[in-house]
Structures are given as C-alpha cells and as structure tokens.
Structure 1
C-alpha cells in the first residue's frame, strides 16, 4: 500500500465521510506532515503551509499536478473539514490573520501528529481509540481558540454578531459603534459585509422596500445604514488598503442604487488619517470621509452644504 492509500485509510479511521476519503485529502494530509513515499510515519514534520504550498507538494513529491483552479476544492472540500474536525489548525501563528491574507496557512494539529506517529506500530489501535474518545473536545478546543480571534460588533438594536478577524472587520465594527451613533443616530443597519462571510447582516425586506438591490453582494458597499427620520441611505466603504469612494465607485453605487427613493449619502471610512492621506487625490466630490481615530469629526468633500444626499 502506497502512502496516499495509507493516508486515506487514516482519514477513514478518523471517521471523516467518504467525500473526504479521496486522493486530494490523502495528499493534503501527507503535505501537512511532509511525508514522502519513501518516508516513515514515525518521522513527521509540522510546517505552516498555504494552499499553494500544498499543491506544490502534490506535484513535486507525488507527481500529482493539480490545476490552479483546484485551490478552492482543497480549501473548501478538504482543509475546511480537517480544521473543523481538529485534524489541522489554521493560522496557529496568528489567529487574527484576515481571510484574504496571502499568509493564510494550515498546520497539522499537535494531538493529531502524536496519533499519526503511532500508525503502522502496535500502539496504533490503542492510540486511535483514545484519540477518537476525545476528538469532540479537541475540535471544540480548537474552535474556541479560533473564535477568540473573531471581531465582535454590537448593532444598534443591542444584538451581537461576529466577523472574520482583521483590520477590515475592525473598521466595520467602528463604523457601526462609533460613526453611526454620531452621524447617523437612530439609523437601522440594513447590510454589513464581511470578507469571510459576505452579507453578515442583510435586511432583505427593508432593502426591497427602499428599492435597493438584493442580489448584488459583490458590488455592495461594506455597510448600509438607513435613517428613517431623514430618509437617508448611508452607503459606507470600509477602507484599510483599497476601495475608497472615488469617482468610479461613486458612479457604480449611484447606478446600483438608482431605484432607491431615499437620499444617498456616500461615506468612505478609514482607520486613521495616515491611510486616508494616501487616497485624498481620488476621493469623489459630494461624499464624506470619516476616520476611526478621530471619531467625532467628519470631512465633507462637497461645496454647497454639509452632509446629506446630493
């Protein structure tokens, strides 16, 4: 039996469903422990690997060249399940790493590595039984560790939700908890985007009533707030590296929300003025700029009046 088949046998013994008992998952496990065909299960490594590195391992060490578009299959159909089951960890070096980071990585879980070291030895059966008896608690332990890095945000109605870790989510939280009470008091949160879970908050009924688009998530701003007393709809972009309301984005949002009856207020939010300074030359007129490090102030990029629809 070759190493790929042995890895699949281990995956099956750990109770993963048949959809994970395949070559892709077997190779992923072998990559996580850096085990080559001529190697031994008693000599394993535990590197931090991104999906690209795992694909390279499949090609270079097992002559299994996977196409570039298979990255999502490795991520969503193998690694996600390995992480959920406690077999692998994601970003153990930095749990707060944002989902779109090129440094996103995976590592074999310490308990799983200790189990794998007993494979093909007399200690395997006993070690496997002990591992399986505690795998539920292990998975919960690792999940709790991941959850600690999530960004909590409290909505105006008092409800709490969590977003993926990272500066982008932190800024969205500040928009809701710092910008909204000051410059959109009493406004209802109709939409919040999140890099790890697009559309964390989406009030479809309210958006439809206002004539806002419902099926354009990829084009939506990061936050949409509605102030009923003024009949203003705030379209807010959270900018930590890219994506301010420049002339092009202003035109896109204006067209996307062309059927909205409420007045449109365009806002670009930055973490601080240092980041804002990089984008000042492209900020569109008739828009607003807010910085989280100076939450009580607003910059008006317009000439005829202060904040409001134009």
Structure 2
C-alpha cells in the first residue's frame, strides 16, 4: 500500500497548497490534445489509454522508483502500478486502476509502439523488459509520439500520418479510425451506403489494381451508359441470365474480375452466385473472378450466417465496422 499512500499524500498536498493534483497541460500537452491525436488511430475513445499517455507526459512528478536515476520523473519510466496510481488517484481522485485491466489500457498502444517497454537496471533505464515479471519493468512514451503530441496544428497531423504509415499495426488503426469517422457521418447506413463503402474503402484497400466497372447503389438505371462503356472496354457483357452484383470490378493487368455483394437483408455470395458469375467470366474470356460479401457489423453477419450459413467457400467476408481486415471462407 506504500505507493498508493504516497500518491494519495501527494495529491492531498498539492490540493492543500492550492495547486491542481495534475496540471492542465504536461509538456504543453492537454488531455484533449492526447484524445484528439489518439482518435486518429482509433484509441481516442478509451479514457484509460488517454490518461495513461497523459501520465507518461508527467515530467514534473518525481519518479516513484526508490532507486531511480537522479532527477528522474514519472515520464522517464513508470510501471503498470505507477500508471494505475497516477491515473486512478492523482488524476481522478479515486482508487488506482485495476492492474488486471492493463490489457485494455496499456496493450493497445504498446502494440502500436506508442508505449515503449523499458527496465530500470543498476540505476538506469534500458530498452526492453529484460527480465520476466520484474518489478522494475516499466514504460515510457515513444519519442516520435511525444513530438507529435507537442506539435501545433496542422503539423502534428502530417507527423502522425508518417508515424502511422511506418508500422503495419498503426496503419491498420489509422484506417479503422478513418472508417469510424466515415461511419459517424452516415445519416443512413442502408444498403446503398454499404455498397459505396465496400467500393470506396474495401476495394480501395484490398483490391489494388482493380477498376470499378459497375455499381448498383442508386434507384436509377441499374447500368448507366458510362458503365456500359466501361464494361465494353473491359470485354464484359452482362445478360439476363447473369447475376447482377452490387459491384463489379476488373483488373486490366490480370484480366480478372471481382464481385462484391453488400448484405443488409439478403444476397450473400453463395454457390449459385459463384456459378453464375464464373460462367459469365468464362464466356467473356476472363482469367477468373473473385468474390466478397460485405456486412455493416459482425452482429449483422452473425445473424445472417447463423440462420443460413450460405457464404460460398473460397470467397471473402468484410465487415464495415471492423474494416482493417477481410476473411477468407475455407471449407
């Protein structure tokens, strides 16, 4: 309880002296700025992660390690217990956070490289957790992330984009945040919106080199004159015997087609649709055709597949609310 009591005493002493327990800004960075930056990698809504980052910006509070280097601050290295007390007691005036919850307020940002694992060894902080379950294992913020947090508008956005793109996991998070923002802006997340998201986001990310030939996202003519011209140039014709997909794409380099079916009520890529579109591709002399069924949420996908289980083996599934991956259906 010594750490808990020490942090509580520090909080009470600061309040008694007429100071806030924690400054409004640390290293010139406010909690609001932390939340805004983390929001760009889909973590801004997690208050514990935001406050954890704010804690590791604390270059005013002396380190709580008994054998810390001279002049060391919390920002130089803090254990899970240190962070739990800083967030729960110093910042919020409650009890310390549950350490067992660290997978929710440390692991996500550690996986992105934002929390850097370090160890206090022989009076110095060294990189990595070098000894399992060591009480001296701790964390600091990645220097690039600190620079992003301290940078003004609009520089920090470009810096964050470069930081995110340098790592696959950060890139996935940034893409997810982009999709979450797009989803928030949708007034109606109906069938047409899902079709458009499937083309604008799914195809753009997972089907590089494919061109959109046809999309059925409006109430007008199912195939516009412009789309007919595109299909003609690609050597594709759709007859009354062919299935009409929600979106049809073509890769000119491989002469390969791709079908997307966006499902809000029915219409998955099942074996009947696969057979129809494979016949069409063969008739048009194409090298082949791939398939993806898209849903708005995992809940929608589960409800449909628990009842029907009709998605064709060998096709893919993409979820708009979990957009950074697509899944291949295996038999």
Length-normalised TM-score, structure 2: 0.38
Bigger radius of gyration: 2
Length-normalised TM-score, structure 1: 0.40
